[in-house]
Amino acid sequence: MKIKFWGARGSIATPEPENMHYGGNTSCVEIRTAAGEVLIIDAGTGIRKLGLSLLQDPHFSRSKKGTIFLSHFHWDHIQGFPFFVPAFIPGYHFKFYGQFKMGGRLEESLRGQMEHAYFPVRLSDMQSTLEFHEILEETVYVGDTIVTSRYLNHPQGCFGYRIEDQDGIVVYCSDTEHFPNTLDKKVLELAEGADILIYDAQYTEEEYLSKVGWGHSTWNEGVKICREAGVKQLILFHHDPTHNDKFIAKLEKEAQSEFPNTIAASRELELNLQNKRSLSPPSAVELKTHVYLPGELEERGDILIIRAPSSLSEFSSASYREKVLEQITPRFNHIVVDLEKLKNLDSAALGTLAAFMEKVQKIQAKYYLYRISDFNREILEISRFTHFLTILDDLSILQKTS
């Protein structure tokens, strides 16, 4: 999965020389999925140059299609679309997704900004096929890529999106305001276990004090989300129009001192996400994660791999147990619990392992534990678990037999 930032500025474009490193264009992110699908998140002024770049791309010129996810309809997220050249060319096909609102806001927002009072060309003059899908909080598929929407805390509403394919998970949460003394559950849900979180870091904590209710957040809150949700990399996004390069660089450094794997999105920054999953060579794995859980579930043929979350209390919670038990179904012959992140099992966690074992026996599958710490090995032996299951050191043995 490749991610490219065509616009990272919030609120309004800022094409001044002192902003050229982080860039002046407003929100637009391109995502090329592992399968080569073109996904575009938001149509701020950055989409103009993205359109020109797409027309140079042989793959896109052949497929002639893209999917555009709009977070919401504020100017800085739609304003570039009238300058998106591919939309004018017959034969191209763009599918839009955005929030369902009474009165068809998705298409109307794009049509309205191109009415003759504001713009010489109408939306209906665009010769490509434009398709509009209004969605609620749900999951849609673009080929194999799974995109999930959740509401964010922003005036007039906004969507955050979680995009996952076999390369990994990237989450876009721009235009969102945090809540006092608690983390936003929707943001946490989207961000759970993500590789990359693109987060609204418009204000400093001092600035925020006078902007409560404006719908934006700070890098400090982004760091809290990353820690809680186990996100690997934080991208600061939606830079304030009054913050120049020097200032954003300072914020980036401050954020890095708290969460080292942080970058402020800069002009045409490119990220390449290719999860090097240690379970087997990435090219051979077909990963599908449909269920939101702490940790992860992975299917590979008749093998179900349950990757335990790093938190003991999560692993032992009734809700986690129930959700995983639902997934242990007779279509699997091998159930593997990967304990890499959970190095110190306690009695409650053993209860979860026992509950899984019961279900595994019911469906007559085989039960394995994988990546066990020395501490866990000892606990499992003392508690006689090892009589009933196999400890695996190498997952490929399983793949050969199945």
Query: Which single residue brings its beta carbon nearest to Zn ion?
Result: 74
CA 283 from centroid of its chain's CA atoms: 21
Contact, 270 vs 23, CB < 8 A? no
The residue whose two tokens read 């379970």 is 279
Q: Which amino acid is at 85?
A: V
Q: By C-beta, is 13 or 130 nearer to Zn ion?
A: 13
Q: How far is CA 216 from CA 98, 209, 312, in A?
A: 19, 11, 33
Q: By C-beta, is 76 or 338 nearer to Zn ion?
A: 76
Strands 38-41 and 28-32: antiparallel
For residue 76, state whether it binds Zn ion (rule: CB under 5 A): yes
Looking at 30, 42, 167, 175, which residue binds Zn ion (CB under 5 A)? 175
User: Which of the ranges 6-14, 109-117, 311-319, 388-396 carries the binding residues for Zn ion, by CB under 5 A?
Assistant: 6-14
For residue 252, state whether it binds Zn ion (rule: CB under 5 A): no
Minimum Å gap between C-beta 238 and Zn ion is 6
For residue 105, state whether it binds Zn ion (rule: CB under 5 A): no
Compute the C-alpha angle 227/157/187, nearest 5°. 15
Minimum Å gap between C-beta 80 and Zn ion is 12
Q: Which amino acid is at 287?
A: L
In sequence order, the 6+-apart residues with CB closer than 8 A to the CB of 148 are: 138, 139, 161, 162, 190, 292
User: Which of the ranges 68-76, 334-342, 348-356, 394-402 carries the binding residues for Zn ion, by CB under 5 A?
Assistant: 68-76
For residue 42, state whether it binds Zn ion (rule: CB under 5 A): no
User: Could you tell me the two tokens for 90?
Assistant: 């017959």
Looking at 32, 74, 150, 178, which residue binds Zn ion (CB under 5 A)? 74
Q: Is 394 left (phi over 0), alpha (psi -120 to 50) or beta?
A: beta
User: Which of the ranges 67-75, 88-96, 281-289, 294-302 carries the binding residues for Zn ion, by CB under 5 A?
Assistant: 67-75
Helices 245-258/219-229 angle, 10° precision: 30
Q: By C-beta, is 150 or 300 nearer to Zn ion?
A: 150
Minimum Å gap between C-beta 367 and Zn ion is 49
For residue 200, state whether it binds Zn ion (rule: CB under 5 A): no
Minimum Å gap between C-beta 217 and Zn ion is 12
Write out the residues near Zn ion by the rule CB under 5 A: 10, 74, 76, 175
